[in-house]
Every structure is written in structure tokens, then in C-alpha cells.
């Protein structure tokens, strides 16, 4: 019997697609560059939603956010949803998730309880005894905070204490911690950073799997480079802000865009109409910033990426040391992109530029995935689950609406002619869908007359919105029809038809 294929999924959090050293000489990522040389770099991969929970839920269910239930931040992926981890587990695989999950909200209700919410995330006695199962992962080591956020707790806090850092609260923000003054340089020593924790736990699991000769699906889920921009020394000084390219708003580029784009460039914008639901919305604030301040943020953002790259390298080295690398599919990607000055924007929000919805994606499997290759075929993270199952020779359930991209990863012809990106907060705020094909990008807003249309071939920087231009109306109408057909095409047919009547 042939040895079963292993799966190693490595993800970052909120990483711009162009922040790989193999694409951008201003960033140093030697280990991810090595992975790209040994595998294939995909330059047109997209997220199904530009926020964490919806996309992460799509990655493990093979469904769009509008289908699996976790359609926005602050929602919960129902435990009833079938996940790729469950399927691997039933097939005899060991399944594990180390790092960030974010399948559940920070708040808990009686109807929708959440393990990732206050106060349970900081109940260390609970986490001492809980290590899974969790959404199909038999074993989990979880945390929720980005850098020094007050959300710190769960298994990461336990590990800090096991390492002898019993005063760990001094390095984190209130109310959990006591340090509220850190900016750019994190006083936490590097050996206690989340990256070190994830790499150590993932490497330990690889050793266990090797010793017991067990096939595995392991997800190493890193937290960086998601803001706040904070990293231990010397990584905070690794990049000189004066030597970095700082993206900027081009004059007049928001003149023809929807009103929420224009409001971001005001010092005190009124976003009241978008807050009728009572919940805040990412990005709906002033994005004005000083160039020199942003340059330092970018330098630290790159430092966070380089630090993460170091510990990704430790996992890859362990895989090779254990002689597991020849039979392990390795995929590196992120959940969504990031703005650091592009179009005058920072962080994220309901702005479906390539910077936010396009993502880094690298795949490696010796003998099957071409090495040193670059591919511009369209991919979506909703395709991840059925693709992993296909590589392992396992059938994807009918509930999954993502496409099997295994032939594309192996160097074959594209299987997609479009991707769809969803973004919904509340019916009274943002409900947008974006259709992207080889050349064009169209974004429509529910019950709104405005939208976006970009020609990515002639306008790759997405400066000229063609939505209202007379010469583009036939094109716009054609793309609206394609979006409608694409929406109809992604409806799941989970019940097989067995009779004519």
C-alpha cells in the first residue's frame, strides 16, 4: 500500500501579496523564497472575503461565507458545518491546528457559545485540560491575540508560563496585561514570541507523526503581520523607513468611487449611515496619515514578516530533517491582504482593491508540483479544502462549492475563469460582491447605484473607476450578467438526484 500523503498548511495573517522577497526586493523572506524555488508561486490567488473569520471558515469548509454561516467578523462558524479536518480525521489522518483559529467571535451568547470569547479565553485552567477536538482538528494549541493585544490567553499563555515567563502579563496591554505604552518595539524577548511558540509546537507534532508513522494534516497558523505593528528587537530596526517605498493616494482617484472611499480621506468623516446596526465596521474612519509615520509602520510590518519567515523556516527544516518533505504537500498562504498606504488606505475595510483581496500563495510537493514555477491561474481560498482532499485521494463532499485546483497546482490548465469575493456586515451597511476574471474586476453593492469597474490590464493600479463612464456601460452590463451566472453556479447541489420524479 502506498504511503499516504501528508499535508502541511502554513498561513500568515493579513499579509499583502507583494510582501515576499521573491517578488519584492525590499522584503527579506529567505525561507519563503526557498519554498517558492522548490515549488510554484501563484500570483493570482484571492480570498473569498477580506476579513479573518469568513475566509478562515471558508478555508476549512470549502464554502463561501454566504453559505457556511460565518459571513462577517463577529459571527460564528456553526459546529455543524462539515470541515476538511473531519474528513481527514475519518480517513485515518492525525489533524492539528496550532496558532490562530478565529472561527468564533469574542463575545458569547447562550444560543451561540464561543470558546474564543471572554472570559473563557483567559481561563487557563480550562485550557490546561482542553486540546480538542475543535472543528475537525483532533488536537489544537490556540491563541487569539495579535502582538500585545489584551486577548492573550489560551494555550499560548500556558506555554509562556511553562517557559518560565511567569510575568508575561507585563508584556501585554490591559486589561489582561499591564503594559500600554509599547509601539513598534515589543519588549517581549523573541524566544517567547508567538512565532517561536507555533514553530516549536508544530515541530514537536511533526516528530510525533514521524515516530508513530501517522499521516497528518497540520495547520501552522501564524498571527503576523496583522497589526498592531509591534515586533521584538532586533526586527523592529531591521528595515530603514527611509529606504522603503511608501504607497500613496493618487490625486483624484476616489472622485468616481463610492462615497465610503471618499470619506476615508477626510479628517473627521461622518460614517453614521454605515453604523445603523450598532456594530463598527473595519476601515470606516479617517485614513489620513503622515508619510513618515507610515514609513515606520511599513518597516515594522516587514520586520514582522521577516521574523515569521525565520520560524516558518524552522518548521520547513524540521520537515526535511525528519525526511517527511518528499511526501508532504506544503502550502503557504494568508487569509487576506493589507493596505499600507495603497490608495490612501491603511489596514483593511470594504475596499476591494487587489491589495486587500489578492493573497500570496505557494505550493510545494516534490515530483508533482513543478519547482521554480510561477503561475497566474485564478485561485480562491474557497478551493483549498477540495484541493487538499484531491491530493490525498479523498472525495470532496457535495456540500463543498470550491473547485479542485489540484491539476493547476501540478502545472495543468486553469479550472477557474473568475473568482468571487464577498463582503457583508449588515443589511443596512455594507453588502458587496466582487467578480474578478482574467482582465476585469466588478464590484456591486446591494441596493446601491454605485459600484466599481476596473480594467486590470490597462489600469493595474486601479486608479480609474469605469463604473459610470458611458463607454464602459456595455462592458459593465456584461460583467453584471457574469456575476449573476457565477452566483447561480456556486449554489451547492448537496442532495444527489436519484430519480426522475
State the Cα–Cα distance between residues 492 and 236, nearest whole angstrom: 47
CA distance 376 to 325: 25
List, for residues 409-437, the tens digit of each pLDDT value: 999 999 999 999 999 987 668 899 999 99
Indicate whether 65 belongs to any domain: yes
| pLDDT at residue 1, rounded to an integer | 40
412 alpha carbon, distance to own chain's centre: 25
Residue 126 in grid coordinates: 480550562
pLDDT digits (tens, 9 = 90+) for 11-33: 999 999 999 999 999 999 999 99
pLDDT band, very low/low/confident/very high, at 346 (cuts 50, 70, 90): very high
Could you give the CA distance from residue 379 to residue 178 in angstroms, rounded to a whole number? 43
Locate cell 504607497: which residue? 247
- The dihedrals phi and psi of 200, each to the nearest 5 degrees, come to -65, -50
pTM exceeding the 0.85 threshold for the entire prediction: yes
- Please indicate, yes or no, if residue 320 is contained in any of the structural domains: yes
Query: Looking at the predicted structure, is the pLDDT value of residue 278 above 80?
Result: no
On the question of pLDDT at 280 being above 70, the answer is no
In a domain, 490, yes or no: no
- Can you give the residue range of the structural domain that contains 409? 6-413
Q: What is the mean pLDDT of residues 113-119?
A: 93
Contact by Cβ (8 Å): 346, 339: yes
Q: What is the mean pLDDT of the chain?
A: 95
Dihedral sign, CA of 241, 247, 249, 250?
positive
Q: CATH number of the domain that 354 lies in?
A: 3.40.720.10
3-class secondary structure, 437: coil
Give the start-end residues of each E strand in 430-472: 431-436, 440-445, 451-455
The tens digit of pLDDT for each residue in 179-227 reads 988 999 999 999 999 999 999 999 999 999 999 999 999 999 999 999 9
Q: For residue 344, is it within any domain? A: yes
For 450, left (φ over 0), alpha (ψ -120 to 50), or beta?
beta
Per-residue pLDDT of 236-264, as tens digits, reads 999 999 999 999 999 999 999 999 999 99
380, 490 contact by CB (below 8 A): no
Residues in the chain: 501
Q: Take residue 122 and report the three cell numbers written for it.
A: 483567559
Residue with cell string 489596514: 347
Q: Let me know: does 66 contact 422? Beta carbons within 8 Å.
A: yes
Q: Is the pLDDT of residue 405 over 50?
A: yes
Residue 132 lies inside a defined structural domain of this protein? yes
Is residue 36 situated within a structural domain?
yes
Query: If pLDDT is split at 50, 70 and 90, which confidence band does 492 have?
Result: confident
**Sign of the CA dihedral running 111, 115, 119, 120:** positive
Q: What is the 3-state secondary structure (H, E, C) of 216-282?
A: EEEEEECCCCCCCCEEECCHHHCCCHHHCCCCCCCCCCCCCCCHHHHHCCCCCCCCHHHCCCCCCCC
287 found inside a domain: yes
Q: Does residue 480 lie in a domain region?
A: no
Confidence at residue 456, expressed as pLDDT on a 0 to 100 scale:
98
pLDDT of 2 strictly over 80: no
Name 380's bridge partners: 46
- Helix/strand/coil percent split, the chain, to 5: 35, 15, 50
Does 277 have pLDDT greater than 60? no
The average pLDDT across 302-318 equals 98
357 pLDDT more than 70: yes
pLDDT tens-digit map of 124-149: 999 999 999 999 999 999 999 999 99
The total number of structural domains in the chain stands at: 1
Amino acid at each position: 500500500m502506498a504511503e499516504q500523503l501528508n499535508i502541511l498548511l502554513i498561513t500568515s495573517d493579513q499579509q499583502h501579496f507583494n510582501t515576499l522577497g521573491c517578488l519584492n526586493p525590499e522584503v527579506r523572506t529567505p525561507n519563503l523564497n526557498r519554498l517558492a524555488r522548490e515549488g510554484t508561486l501563484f500570483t493570482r490567488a484571492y480570498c473569498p472575503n477580506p476579513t479573518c473569520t469568513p475566509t478562515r471558515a471558508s478555508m476549512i469548509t470549502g464554502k463561501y461565507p454566504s453559505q457556511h454561516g460565518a459571513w462577517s467578523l463577529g459571527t460564528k462558524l456553526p459546529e455543524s458545518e462539515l470541515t476538511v479536518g473531519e474528513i481527514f480525521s475519518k480517513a485515518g489522518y492525525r489533524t492539528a491546528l496550532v496558532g490562530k483559529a478565529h472561527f468564533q467571535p469574542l463575545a458569547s451568547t447562550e444560543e451561540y457559545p464561543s470558546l474564543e470569547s471572554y472570559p473563557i479565553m483567559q481561563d487557563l485552567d480550562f485550557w490546561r485540560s482542553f486540546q480538542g477536538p475543535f472543528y475537525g482538528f483532533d488536537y489544537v494549541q490556540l491563541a487569539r491575540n495579535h502582538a500585545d493585544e489584551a486577548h492573550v490567553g489560551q494555550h499560548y499563555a500556558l506555554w509562556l508560563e511553562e517557559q518560565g515567563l511567569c510575568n508575561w502579563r507585563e508584556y501585554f496591554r490591559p486589561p489582561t496585561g499591564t503594559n500600554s505604552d509599547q509601539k513598534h518595539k515589543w519588549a517581549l524577548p523573541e524566544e517567547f514570541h508567538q512565532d517561536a511558540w507555533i514553530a516549536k509546537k508544530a515541530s514537536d507534532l511533526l516528530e510525533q507523526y514521524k515516530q508513530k508513522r501517522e499521516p497528518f494534516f497540520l495547520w501552522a497558523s501564524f498571527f503576523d503581520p496583522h497589526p498592531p505593528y509591534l515586533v521584538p528587537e532586533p526586527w523592529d530596526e531591521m528595515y530603514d523607513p527611509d529606504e522603503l517605498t511608501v504607497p500613496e493616494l493618487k490625486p483624484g482617484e476616489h472622485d468616481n468611487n463610492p462615497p465610503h472611499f471618499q470619506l476615508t480621506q477626510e479628517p473627521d468623516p461622518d460614517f453614521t449611515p454605515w453604523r445603523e446596526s450598532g456594530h463598527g465596521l473595519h476601515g470606516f474612519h479617517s485614513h489620513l496619515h503622515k508619510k513618515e509615520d507610515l514609513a515606520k509602520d511599513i518597516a515594522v510590518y516587514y520586520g514582522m514578516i521577516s521574523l515569521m519567515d525565520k520560524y516558518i523556516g524552522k518548521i520547513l527544516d524540521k520537515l526535511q530533517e525528519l525526511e517527511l518533505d518528499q511526501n508532504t504537500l506544503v502550502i503557504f498562504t494568508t487569509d487576506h491582504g493589507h493596505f499600507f498606504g495603497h490608495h490612501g488606505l491603511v489596514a483593511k475595510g470594504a475596499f476591494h482593491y487587489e491589495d486587500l483581496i489578492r493573497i500570496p500563495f505557494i505550493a510545494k510537493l516534490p515530483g508533482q508540483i513543478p519547482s521554480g514555477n510561477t503561475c497566474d491561474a485564478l485561485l480562491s481560498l474557497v478551493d483549498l479544502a477540495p484541493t487538499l482532499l484531491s491530493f490525498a485521494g479523498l472525495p470532496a463532499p457535495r456540500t463543498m462549492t470550491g473547485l479542485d485546483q489540484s491539476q493547476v497546482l501540478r502545472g495543468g490548465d486553469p479550472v477557474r475563469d473568475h473568482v468571487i469575493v464577498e463582503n457583508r456586515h449588515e443589511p443596512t451597511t455594507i453588502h458587496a460582491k466582487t467578480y474578478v476574471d482574467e482582465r476585469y474586476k466588478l464590484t456591486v453593492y446591494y441596493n446601491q447605484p454605485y459600484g466599481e469597474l476596473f480594467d486590470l490590464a490597462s489600469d493595474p493600479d486601479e486608479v480609474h473607476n469605469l463604473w459610470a463612464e458611458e463607454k464602459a456601460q456595455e462592458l459593465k452590463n456584461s460583467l453584471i450578467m457574469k456575476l449573476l451566472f457565477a452566483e447561480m453556479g456556486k449554489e451547492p447541489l448537496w442532495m444527489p438526484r436519484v430519480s426522475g420524479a
